[in-house]
Structure 1
Amino acid sequence: MEDFIKQLRDNFSTRFEDYSMPKAGIKKRSKVPGVMITQFIEELPEGKSTPDFLSKPIALTIQEGKLAIFKAHVCGDPKLDVTWGRAKGDMSDTEKFQNKYEEATGEYTLEIPRVSGEETDTYKCYATNEYGNAICTAALNVIEVGFKKKKAMEQLEDVGSGRVNKNCIRPCVRPSFVLGNAKLAKPQGESNVYPV
């Protein structure tokens, strides 16, 4: 009877081995905080390893129009495939999102020239080989300076043209003031409220 059960068990596992679902990944800890490693198989062959980050990209806050560069150093055997992604946006524009590898330093980079507010996002670096993958993230924040300049110019134009922007008025002691060469008088129908 035991032989029959063993034979049935062996036959069953052999028959369904090719059709079984892949095993859930084994989560591993990296030496670098913030890196998530998943190992695809239970035991690694001797001398082989899952991907890991030696250094991961750091969060960046960059002024619009400047160059943003994320850098990563990875290790693992066999050779790794390193790719980049975004949490919310598309990265198919290869002129805007440039993936580079420097063989001399072993450094992978993602360069984003002339950043704008549209590139503000969380970026992900993926290192993958046949035994597993490693993922880390870094945020890009873009400071939009043009918006503030444009808003200030619009407010000055409103004052200079006689249009009063309600966000740009306050009580004033004097009935008029000089802005450049233009002298502005008290607005019609307003008492003690003057453009600033």
Structure 2
Amino acid sequence: MKFIIATNNQKKLKELERILNPLGINAVSAKDEGISLDDVEETGTTFAENAFLKAEAAFKKTGLPSVADDSGLCVDALDGRPGIYSARYAGENATDSDKNNKLLSELKDVPEKDRTAHFTCAICCILPNGEKIEVEGICEGSIAFEPHGNGGFGYDPIFKYGDKSYAELSSEEKDAISHRGKALRKLKAELEKYLDK
């Protein structure tokens, strides 16, 4: 069965493929199908609402089952920012490095004990019959004082889980503890129930 993954982020697509392929699901990006989803406005006020908007747009454009996620970093000392604005936090065309530097500069006077944060991932899957599955995963951690590691993407180099940043973990280690890994395992369980029907 072919599923459209509503993302332009190749690294996110790879994470989703690793979970969905063993279920016999062929995960393809909208781009692979020659479809642009750039016009989807993320007007939701929560990760779950934005995930639904993206999944619904992909489903309507393709007629294929669609999966979308919306995820971001919520920093306690910043009242939950960047939150749903994580991707656009340092401006529209900012690099991952720009985003990390902006966040680190905002936290420069915040002591280690107050640098708590969590990543949230909300996933929405719209099935061929229009039914939807919504799941969420959270990973608690803290913000480092400087970037560490060369793996991952986004805020991974500055988000610490235990004594390592996400960017210092292997794909397998990250999948085991990450917000997206947790959400994807919930999605997998729900899809298994659906595919058994």
TM over 0.5: no
Structure 1 length-normalised TM: 0.23
Structure 2 length-normalised TM: 0.23
More helix by share: 2
More strand by share: 1
